[in-house]
């Protein structure tokens, strides 16, 4: 009987995890990162037992090396490096920041837009590292999703810089202060042993900041939308009025007064928009 109860609990837990993963692309990205870390850890353990550098051989194909060390055609490492991490604290911090930064940005953006910015942030960080490594070929290989995480964080910061964040559940700080602190840490670290990682942080942060006010650029249907808008602009059959709850109007208001300055209907509109 005890075994049956335990089995039912395990099944319920698995269903809850599956539901959590399906709930949002942010959760799916976190699951993928954790799964990759498990694979990386297994490779490391196999290396211990077999005395073969299993993890090292794996990282040779997925970590991002300095530009001079690239093999011909090894461009996939500009993305794959983001799925590997240097240790437990590295993956935990990135996963936690991805969760909170992703959900903050999801207040203003659609779920798939957040997911695509995360991937592009990893790519931007990889490109920044590759360009920097031309001048500093001794940089160690790059690993970690921090470029994607900072892309989300800085996009959310530009959308609502005054958004209140409770650090450790106690210290109340505006979002811009947290982003500024991380920016200064990354800049100051450009001369340290993790200079390559810090320049990747800056690359992701810059992309997030630039795309913050243009999330529609991350829509696969952008071309169709442009054609539709063009046809409507050429038509004089009727005039179209903007709704009081127009997204552009709300985003403009957020840039002026912050998220907390929105009315209840405006916040509800953003919540519904983010679920689409």
CA dihedral for 58, 64, 65, 71, sign (positive or negative):
positive
Q: Last residue of a domain, which of 172, 187, 217?
A: 217
Same domain, 146 and 14: yes
The residue with greater pLDDT, 52 or 89, is 89
Q: Is residue 2 situated within a structural domain?
A: no
Same domain, 44 and 181: yes
Q: Is residue 37 situated within a structural domain?
A: yes
Domain extent, residue 250, equals 227-275
Q: Is residue 3 situated within a structural domain?
A: no
Same domain, 234 and 115: no
Same domain, 42 and 92: yes
- What six digits make up the tokens of 145? 């999703």
The total of other beta-carbon atoms located within 10 Å of residue 201's CB is: 29
Q: Is residue 172 situated within a structural domain?
A: yes
Residue 236 has pLDDT above 50, yes or no: no
Q: Domain count of the chain?
A: 2
19-61: pLDDT as tens digits = 888 989 999 999 999 999 999 999 888 888 888 888 888 888 8
The CATH number given to whatever domain includes residue 72 is: 1.20.1540.10
Mean pLDDT, residues 194-208 taken together = 96
Same domain, 147 and 261: no
226-235: pLDDT as tens digits = 444 444 444 4
**Residue appearing with tokens 């319920």:** 12
CA-angle at 193, arms to 146 and 85, nearest 5°:
35
CA dist., res. 182 & res. 186, Å (int) = 6
Same domain, 212 and 232: no
CA-angle at 119, arms to 88 and 187, nearest 5°:
65
94-107: pLDDT as tens digits = 999 999 999 999 98
Same domain, 116 and 157: yes
Under DSSP, is residue 53 helix (H, G, I), strand (E, B) or coil? coil
Which of 7-11, 40-44, 66-70, 146-150: highest mean pLDDT? 146-150
Record the pTM: 0.79
46, burial (CB in 10 Å: exposed 0-12, middle 13-18, buried 19+): middle
CA-angle at 38, arms to 32 and 44, nearest 5°:
140
Same domain, 113 and 247: no
Same domain, 106 and 168: yes
Strand partners, 171: 167
The DSSP string of 101-135 is: HHHHHHTTS-HHHHHHHHHHHHHHHHHHHHHHHTT
Same domain, 137 and 231: no
pLDDT at residue number 259? 66
Report the relative pairing of strands 164-167 and 171-174 from DSSP bridges: antiparallel
Mean pLDDT, residues 240-256 taken together = 59
Same domain, 38 and 12: yes
Q: Is residue 1 situated within a structural domain?
A: no
Contact status, residue 118 vs residue 151, Cβ threshold 8 Å: yes
């Amino acid at each position: 009987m005890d075994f049956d109860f335990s089995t039912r609990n395990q099944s319920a837990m698995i269903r809850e995890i599956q539901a959590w993963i399906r709930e949002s692309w942010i959760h799916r990205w976190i699951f993928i990162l954790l799964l990759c870390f498990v694979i990386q850890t297994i490779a490391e353990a196999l290396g211990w037992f077999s005395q073969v550098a299993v993890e090292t051989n794996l990282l040779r194909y997925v970590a991002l090396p300095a530009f001079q060390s690239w093999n011909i055609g090894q461009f996939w490492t500009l993305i794959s490096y983001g799925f590997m991490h240097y240790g437990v604290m590295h993956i935990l911090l990135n996963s936690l920041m991805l969760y909170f930064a992703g959900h903050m940005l999801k207040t203003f953006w659609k779920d798939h837009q957040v997911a695509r910015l995360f991937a592009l942030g990893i790519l931007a960080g990889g490109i920044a590292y590759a360009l920097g490594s031309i001048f500093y070929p001794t940089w160690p290989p790059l690993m970690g999703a921090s470029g994607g995480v900072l892309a989300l964080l800085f996009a959310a910061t530009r959308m609502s810089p005054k958004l209140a964040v409770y650090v450790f559940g106690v210290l109340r700080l505006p979002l811009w202060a947290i982003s500024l602190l991380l920016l200064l840490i990354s800049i100051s670290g450009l001369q340290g042993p993790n200079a390559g990682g810090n320049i990747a942080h800056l690359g992701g942060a810059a992309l997030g900041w630039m795309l913050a006010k243009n999330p529609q650029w991350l829509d696969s249907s952008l071309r169709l939308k442009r054609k539709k808008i063009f046809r409507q602009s050429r038509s004089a059959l009727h005039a179209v009025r903007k709704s009081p709850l127009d997204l552009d109007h709300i985003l403009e208001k957020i840039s002026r007064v912050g998220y907390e300055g929105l009315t209840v209907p405006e916040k509800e509109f953003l919540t519904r928009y983010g679920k689409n």
